[in-house]
């Protein structure tokens, strides 16, 4: 089969009676080209099947109209595919293409981020992975704005938008206290993530304020580790009666451990609460009480901030926490005055 010859901008220029540079400018909305000329060039291009070269156009505008999204846990946590879909749609609505970089467990973001900068993306949005302060300032030196989603780096010049994880942790703790639960525990996520640290901070604050001793295990944000952690918490002379998990996936592990691994009842013997409110949380088999993250508000704020700082580089970073919402279902005991969702 004969290979199709690619149509060039020179052919469009010849048919339109303009220069090749005018053809390039016609496909760049920021470039000054007469309206009639632009319409003529685009019409001819469509007729003969010409597609402009985005990389070449970026040399003219000095902008790639491309943002890099850096993400981890794409397959292990259903929360992030939903976030990625919403982020991509929002950027595309604003005329930005998306380049996806996935960080694996054995990789360091600081090691791979320079590769992303080589693509000369206009901005970077980072979620589900930790950025060091040093690399945040390196991005600033390159003139590339960075926005963190559901993460923050203290002292960095990056914008960030997070659920109010401290308040969420306090809300969970207060529900346990109001439900007269006396032996609570916390299953932490990854130890170096601001999300797990802040959720634990809020939870422990309210427990300490009420003089309640709290046990702790680490679940590393995955089902199997949380399953094992939950068994350790109940397989003891004085078992816990309530467990707060730093995300829903770990809460599912804890639920299954209590119900099948230990043959106990939820919530009669042990109350379980998660964090995120991924779609599976509402399934009858889990019926999980959890803190719902304000995902759409966080996505909208993150995308709007990054695009705004791409357009206006001198804009200072924006940093904001957004309140989540407790969704009460059947996995936890509740005070009589609290209604279930």
Number of domains in the chain: 3
In the block, tokens 């993250």 appear at 293
User: What CATH number is associated with residue 178?
Assistant: 3.40.50.2300
Burial 237-275 (b: 16+ CB within 10 A, else e): eebbbbbbbbbbbbbbbbbbbbbebbeeebbeebbbbbb
Same domain (yes/no): 208, 233: yes
In a domain, 335, yes or no: no
Does residue 39 contact residue 45 with C-beta atoms inside 8 Å? Answer: no
Same domain (yes/no): 183, 124: no
As a whole number of angstroms, the distance between CA 333 and CA 204 comes to 19
- For residue 31, the model assigns a pLDDT of 67
List the structure tokens of 5: 């010859």
Same domain (yes/no): 289, 299: no
In a domain, 329, yes or no: no
Same domain (yes/no): 126, 101: yes
Same domain (yes/no): 298, 184: no
In a domain, 3, yes or no: no
In a domain, 270, yes or no: yes
Helix 9-16 vs helix 35-48: crossing angle, to nearest 10: 120
List the structure tokens of 121: 């993306």
In a domain, 314, yes or no: yes
Same domain (yes/no): 31, 119: no
- For residue 4, the model assigns a pLDDT of 57
CA distances in angstroms from 92 to 71, 95, 119, 269, 311, listed in the order given = 18, 5, 18, 48, 16
In a domain, 211, yes or no: yes
Q: Identify which of 169, 168, 179, 232 has the alpha carbon closest to the alpha carbon of residue 204.
A: 169
Same domain (yes/no): 92, 231: no
Same domain (yes/no): 303, 247: no
Q: What residue numbers bound the domain in which 128 lies?
A: 66-163+294-323
Query: What pTM, to 2 d.p., does this model score?
Result: 0.79
Among the three residues 61, 80, 97, which one is the final residue of a domain in this structure? 61
In a domain, 330, yes or no: no
Among the three residues 273, 293, 313, which one is the final residue of a domain in this structure? 293
In a domain, 133, yes or no: yes
- For residue 61, the model assigns a pLDDT of 47
Same domain (yes/no): 104, 158: yes
Q: Per-residue pLDDT for the chain (341 aa), expressed as one digit of tens each? A: 455 567 788 888 888 898 888 887 787 766 678 888 888 988 888 888 887 765 555 545 456 688 989 887 667 788 888 899 999 999 999 888 898 888 776 666 777 777 777 777 889 898 866 666 666 666 766 778 889 898 887 777 789 999 999 999 999 999 999 999 999 999 999 888 889 999 999 999 999 999 999 999 999 999 999 999 999 999 999 999 999 999 999 999 999 999 987 878 999 999 999 999 999 999 999 999 999 999 999 999 999 999 999 989 888 889 999 999 999 999 999 887 666 65
Q: Give me the DSSP letters along 185-198.
A: EEEE--TT-HHHHH
Same domain (yes/no): 158, 302: yes
Same domain (yes/no): 56, 15: yes
Does residue 217 contact residue 254 with C-beta atoms inside 8 Å? Answer: no
- For residue 21, the model assigns a pLDDT of 81
Same domain (yes/no): 54, 76: no
User: What CATH number is associated with residue 47?
Assistant: 1.10.260.40
């Amino acid at each position: 089969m004969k290979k199709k010859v690619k149509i060039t901008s020179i052919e469009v220029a010849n048919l339109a009676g303009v220069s090749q540079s005018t053809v390039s400018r016609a496909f760049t909305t920021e470039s000054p080209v007469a309206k009639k000329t632009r319409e003529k060039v685009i019409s001819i291009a469509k007729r003969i099947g010409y597609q402009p070269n985005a990389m070449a156009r970026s040399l003219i505008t000095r902008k790639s109209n491309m943002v890099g999204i850096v993400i981890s846990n794409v397959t292990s946590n259903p929360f992030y595919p939903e976030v990625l879909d919403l982020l991509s749609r929002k950027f595309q609505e604003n005329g930005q293409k998306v380049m996806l970089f996935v960080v694996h467990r054995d990789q360091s973001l600081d090691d791979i981020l320079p590769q992303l900068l080589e693509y000369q993306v206009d901005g970077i949005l980072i979620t589900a992975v930790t950025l060091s302060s040093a690399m945040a300032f390196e991005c600033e030196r390159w003139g590339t704005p960075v926005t963190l989603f559901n993460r923050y780096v203290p002292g960095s010049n990056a914008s960030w938008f997070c659920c109010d994880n401290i308040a969420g942790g306090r809300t969970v703790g207060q529900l346990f206290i109001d439900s007269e639960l006396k032996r609570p525990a916390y299953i932490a996520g990854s130890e170096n993530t601001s999300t797990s640290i802040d959720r634990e901070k809020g939870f422990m604050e309210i427990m300490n304020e009420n003089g309640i001793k709290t046990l702790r295990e680490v679940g590393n944000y995955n089902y199997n580790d949380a399953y094992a952690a939950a068994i350790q918490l109940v397989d003891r002379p004085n078992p816990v009666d309530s467990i707060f998990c730093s995300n829903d996936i770990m809460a599912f592990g804890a639920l299954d451990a209590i119900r099948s691994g230990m043959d106990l009842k939820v919530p009669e013997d042990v109350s379980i609460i998660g964090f995120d409110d991924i779609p599976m949380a509402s399934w009858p088999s889990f019926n999980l009480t959890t803190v719902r993250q304000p995902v759409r508000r966080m996505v909208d704020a993150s995308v709007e901030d990054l695009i705004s700082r791409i357009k206006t580089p001198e804009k200072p970073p924006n940093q904001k926490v957004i309140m989540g919402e407790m969704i009460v279902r059947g996995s936890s005991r509740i005070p009589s005055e609290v209604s279930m969702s």
